[in-house]
Amino acid sequence: MTTYPMSDEDRAIQQRARTFVDEKLIPWEQHAEANGGEIPADDRATHGRMAKELGLFAMNMPTELGGTGMTMLQQVLVSEQIGRVTNALGWCVHTPPAWAPAVVSDHQMETWIKPTISGEIHECYAITEEGAGSDVDAIAATARRDGDDYVLDGVKMHVTSYNHASYCFFQGKIVGGPSEGAHAMFFVDKDTPGVREVRSPAYSHTYPDSHALVAFEDVRVPAANLIGEEGDGLAFTYEWFRYERLMIAARCCGAAERLIEEATAFAKGRVQFGQPIFSFQAIQHMLADSLTELWAARLMTYRLAENIDAGVDVKLQHAQCSMAKLYASEMANRVADRAVQIFGGRGYMRENVAERFYREVRVDRIWEGTSEVQRNIIADQLGKRGVQPLVG
């Protein structure tokens, strides 16, 4: 456990999540890897139930809505432990859209958000398109007002968990009227006529969740499905990005910790040239660099979570979330690469944790904004604010 100053409650939450991951989730990794990410439905249901019983499900939601209302530091502590397990087995600890409760209508709260918090239904995000990835503002999807409805059109890419979702957050640009060209976000039930999965490509990781290409063709939804006002869509997306970037940083710290533990144990036991490979300085240095970088990333991530709990300025949060995501994701990729090297040929086998993480943490440098985009955000804030506010 960590020596970072935290309350007894924080430490208890951290320990609860760690025990759950170690005892219930990690034992399923190799089965999941060998079965396209799947484990038996009963066991998956058990994991979901346990996550709820342990108070880890919907940890980011207020207690009055049925969540467990954890502080941001506590959420980071849990996400870090979730990051220690491969194959998305940790996704049973679901965090519904943190930005939503403050902005949705009563109807939307009852229809989509509360059932998501209770785990009855699941959401997915349909924002990225063929021509709009890093440049979210380039989306071609449209939303046209027609009487009491909106008509939505567009083709979305990489829609994560589409196979498990019952509704999508769809982002499109308004066509016609005073808000022409503004971003807007909508709730769209998957069974609405005109919503169609085009295909579900394979990705590097072995996850049970798809990342589908989804077409929205003449999809008619009531105006009551618009979230907030026309023009609010991009702000919701940025808030989602900030939260996810912090949680990615936390999960990357967890992945790195697991990798260092496993690689160290292996290096102490593996004998070549008559001695454990841990005695070779080349191996020691890879582990020493990994440990040092993990500490730096963890301190940064915890501190940022505390800053958010303390309510620091949102622009500062935006830059610091980018710094934490950038550093922790690149750190985890370096650590995974070294771990594969330390395991040697075994590190190239899918039954080996280092091999799985080597593929899995790669996307952490891409999704929720690439490393290059994070650097752009950080540099932009540096130019506007100077050094001290960002790192002081």
User: Which residues are near ligand FAD by CB under 6 A?
Assistant: 125, 127-128, 133-134, 158-160, 203, 211, 363, 366-370, 372-373, 376
| Residue 251: strand, helix, or coil | helix
Q: Are residues 328 and 252 in contact, defined by beta-carbon separation less than 8 angstroms?
A: yes
Q: How far is the CB of 86 from ligand FAD (least distance, A)?
A: 15
- Give 4 or 203: the residue with its C-beta nearer to ligand FAD: 203
Torsion angle of the four alpha carbons 107, 112, 118, 120, in this order, in degrees rounded to the nearest 10:
130
Element (H, E) at 308: helix 281-309
CA–chain centroid gap for 291, Å, is 23
- Give 71 or 374: the residue with its C-beta nearer to ligand FAD: 374
Q: How far is the CB of 33 from ligand FAD (least distance, A)?
A: 17
Q: How far is the CB of 205 from ligand FAD (least distance, A)?
A: 7
Structure tokens at 29: 């990794």
DSSP annotation of 4: S
Q: How far is the CB of 83 from ligand FAD (least distance, A)?
A: 16
Q: Which residue is nearest to ligand FAD (CB)?
A: 133
Q: What is the spatial distance between Cα 297 and Cα 166, in angstroms, rounded to a whole number? A: 36
- Give 101 or 133: the residue with its C-beta nearer to ligand FAD: 133
Give all strands (DSSP E) within 120-272, no chain letters.
123-126, 142-146, 149-160, 167-175, 183-189, 195-199, 211-222, 226-227, 271-272
- Give 293 or 368: the residue with its C-beta nearer to ligand FAD: 368
Structure tokens at 303: 């501190």
Q: How far is the CB of 59 from ligand FAD (least distance, A)?
A: 20
Contacts of 155 (CB under 8 A, 6+ apart): 129, 130, 141, 198, 213, 214, 215, 216
Q: How far is the CB of 52 from ligand FAD (least distance, A)?
A: 23
- Give 153 or 262: the residue with its C-beta nearer to ligand FAD: 153
Contacts of 307 (CB under 8 A, 6+ apart): 316, 317, 320
Q: How far is the CB of 134 from ligand FAD (least distance, A)?
A: 3
- Give 186 or 343: the residue with its C-beta nearer to ligand FAD: 186
| Residue 114: strand, helix, or coil | helix
- Give 241 or 278: the residue with its C-beta nearer to ligand FAD: 241
